[in-house]
Structure 1
Amino acid sequence: MDRQDNTELATVRRGRVERTTSETKIIAAIDLDGSGRARVATGIGFLDHMLEQLAKHGLFDIEIEATGDLHIDMHHTTEDVAIALGQATMQALGERRGIRRFGTAYAPMDETLSRVALDLSNRPYLIWRVEFSRDKVGEMDTELFKEWFQAFAQHGGVCLHVENLYGDNNHHIVESCFKALATALKHAVEIDPRRAGVVPSTKGAL
């Protein structure tokens, strides 16, 4: 990717985290200024699909390799992937100089509409207003999606509000939430040339 000569804009905004516990081993990497490439292998097909959506619609390059105790269930792997990706995103943002900071996006998918509003405030918080009519999407428990968004917000320093405004198909509901996250996050991490490398906060730090 061509980078601008301006020092503030030329910074390579990438993060990479390796996280190993007794339950999982995760390698997660993100390039905030990528082109939407994803190389993802979590062992959970539907989660891979959602992370590919995050990369594609956020124009992030994402690499994730995960080995987890899937013989128990998908909880530890789902949460730990989000922790590692959140930490990699935190790393890539650095001091968050020059970013737009806020992002809002609506994502329709057939009968479904979801909205994400976020603030890269480094004060993590999750509002989750998403309900499902089934316990699973594919083989994945629907209750795990809140866990993923919670862990990503917590470890990425994101104040994150996720709402499904309406919809019937559970697959569509989840996917529209991830697509809205991708689009809102893409806007929030963008460099605003008018900020000239300034941290977007009256405190002078995020």
Structure 2
Amino acid sequence: MSRYAAVKRDTKETEIEVYLDIDTPGNVEVSTPIPFFNHMLNSMLFHMNSSAKIIAKDKENYDDHHVVEDTAIVLGEAFKEALGNKSGIRRFFSIFTPMDEALVLVAVDISGRGMGIIDLDLKREEIGGLSMENVPHFFRTFAYNAGITLHIRKFSGENEHHIVEAAFKGLGISLYEASRIVNNRLPTTKGLL
């Protein structure tokens, strides 16, 4: 039985729709007005082994901030909803993801507590319409709304496309592995995640 969610957010600034199935590898469709963001979300969802659809519309066209932030909110909510009661999940996972000269650590704890600690040391202004200041903002906002603890840290890298892509791929892999059902108990001594 697949774990999935469909979440929509409609504000004066954006309209975001997300469908996410975390147990069925399949089609990934991403459409936002930000080309590099589309590329990163596609990479992340592909490495999550998910079926997914993200449609994001920018109603005001100020800049990329609202689309990135609201997509992170809705995608985070969808992931949290798809997890269900979290019974039997692995909960923790971490990976060093290389991409050519770049090496990025991503560590995930499906803790029920949203927190993102992001250290990518990005210097470039933007890539393909995505402001580099919005990369850590996306990760933090996603983590908060997904109810996960997320650490992302660059260990090496000069090409910022490679650094950012390693982070998104590492997040996809980590979310997939941490959300796998490995037994029939809740993975906490507290009795609640």
> What TM-score comes out, normalization by structure 1 length?
0.91
Q: Secondary structure at the match of 1:71?
A: coil
**How many matched pairs?**
193
Deviation for aligned residue 1:89: 0.5
Letter in 1 for 2:152: V
Counterparts of 2:135 and 2:59, CA distance in 1: 18
After TM superposition, the runs of 4+ consecutive aligned structure 1 residues lying more than 4 A away are none
Q: 1:203 aligns to what? A: 190
2:24 equivalent to 1:37: no
Deviation for aligned residue 1:132: 1.4
Counterparts of 2:97 and 2:30, CA distance in 1: 23
- Deviation digits for residues 77-115 of structure 1 (CA, Å, limit 9, x no counterpart): 001001000000011001111100001011100100001
Counting only pairs closer than 5 Å after superposition, residues 168-187 of structure 1 correspond to structure 2 as 168-187=158-177
Letter in 2 for 1:48: N
Deviation for aligned residue 1:36: 4.7
Q: 2:137 aligns to what? A: 147
> What TM-score comes out, normalization by structure 2 length?
0.97
Counterparts of 2:179 and 2:54, CA distance in 1: 20
Counterparts of 1:125 and 1:61, CA distance in 2: 25
Q: Which is higher, the Rg of structure 1 or of structure 2?
A: 1
In 2, are the aligned partners of 1:114 and 1:162 still within 8 Å (CA)? Answer: yes
Deviation for aligned residue 1:61: 1.2
In 1, are the aligned partners of 2:13 and 2:60 still within 8 Å (CA)? Answer: no
CA RMSD across the alignment? 1.1
2:72 equivalent to 1:82: yes
Work out which of the residue numbers 173, 179, 193 in structure 2 matches 1:189.
179
Deviation for aligned residue 1:34: 1.8
Counterparts of 1:80 and 1:71, CA distance in 2: 14
Q: 1:116 aligns to what? A: 106
In 2, are the aligned partners of 1:36 and 1:55 still within 8 Å (CA)? Answer: no
Letter in 2 for 1:99: I
User: Cα distance 1:69–1:131, how it changes in 2: closer, same or farther (>3 A)?
Assistant: farther
In 2, are the aligned partners of 1:33 and 1:59 still within 8 Å (CA)? Answer: yes
Q: 1:163 aligns to what? A: 153
Deviation for aligned residue 1:133: 2.4
Unaligned runs of 5+ in 1: 1-9
**Does 29-38 or 18-27 show the bigger shift?**
29-38
**Does 125-134 or 158-167 show the bigger shift?**
125-134
Q: Secondary structure at the match of 2:192?
A: coil
In 1, are the aligned partners of 2:64 and 2:129 still within 8 Å (CA)? Answer: no
Work out which of the residue numbers 100, 106, 125 in structure 1 matches 2:115.
125
- Deviation digits for residues 172-194 of structure 1 (CA, Å, limit 9, x no counterpart): 010000011111111100110xx
Unaligned runs of 5+ in 2: none
Counting only pairs closer than 5 Å after superposition, residues 21-60 of structure 1 correspond to structure 2 as 21-60=11-50
Q: Percent identity?
A: 39
